[in-house]
Structure 1
Amino acid sequence: MGLAPQLVEEIFEIVKRLNEDEKVTFLLAEQNTNMALRYSRYGYILENGRVVMDGDAGTLLGNEDVKEFYLGPVAVKVRVSET
């Protein structure tokens, strides 16, 4: 059991604010790929402890493999309905 989604969002907002206001860099490990990439400038996708993909967050969010394998059925459903 993890943190409540609202608390996770609040933590990410605090980290984002510290990054912007204080110019502090953070390295975050997060299982929620969508959340992590929404708050990141750059991301790494790990699989079994190895980097399998990296790039700027917007590119990763738009990547079809990331959508299918890491963002879940909602992203896939959206992708399929757009074609």
Structure 2
Amino acid sequence: MLHSDRGFQYTSLRFKKLFGKEVNQSMSRVGRCNDNGPMEAFWGALKCERYYLRTYSTFKELKKDIEDYIRFYNNERLQEKLNSLSPIEFRTKAA
């Protein structure tokens, strides 16, 4: 899954052909800038809490660290806006 805004470079056929059917593209709806907010917050947190603090020798190391952070973010990272719960805990309580 690749999330982006609706910039011309991301909506072009040339960009879509780079990934073929291996990557699903996600973007905010036209005129709905709030759709992008949660993803912007996530990437901001990932960069501040992991990426800027480490040096990666290989793409494989970077990929593993991002995957580890996604698990951490969803299952363990408490968020004030979710009543000090992790996203998984918040969704479980809501259901």
Q: Same fold (TM over 0.5)?
A: no
Larger proportion of helix: 2
Q: Greater Rg, structure 1 or structure 2?
A: 2
TM-score, reference length from structure 2: 0.29
Larger proportion of strand: 1
